[in-house]
Structure 1
């Protein structure tokens, strides 16, 4: 959990799985309103 040989690889997997809401929600929430808004409007 703290001693991984591939910190980079584990960091990406753990970070995305540990806080999918903080890394995915903010990204999706900021992207949709910025793209679909101008396209729909």
Structure 2
């Protein structure tokens, strides 16, 4: 759990776990990129 106190951003916040974006389209694109494996990878 993360608790904080700050002034409001004045922008829409949309969540689709684990992504938090400003629009539903952006969360959809992020989820699609995640499913496609194009979000980046850990190199060991």
TM-score, normalized by the shorter chain, greater than 0.5: no
Structure with more strand by fraction: 2
Kindly name which structure, 1 or 2, has the bigger radius of gyration based on alpha carbons: 1
Structure with more helix by fraction: 1
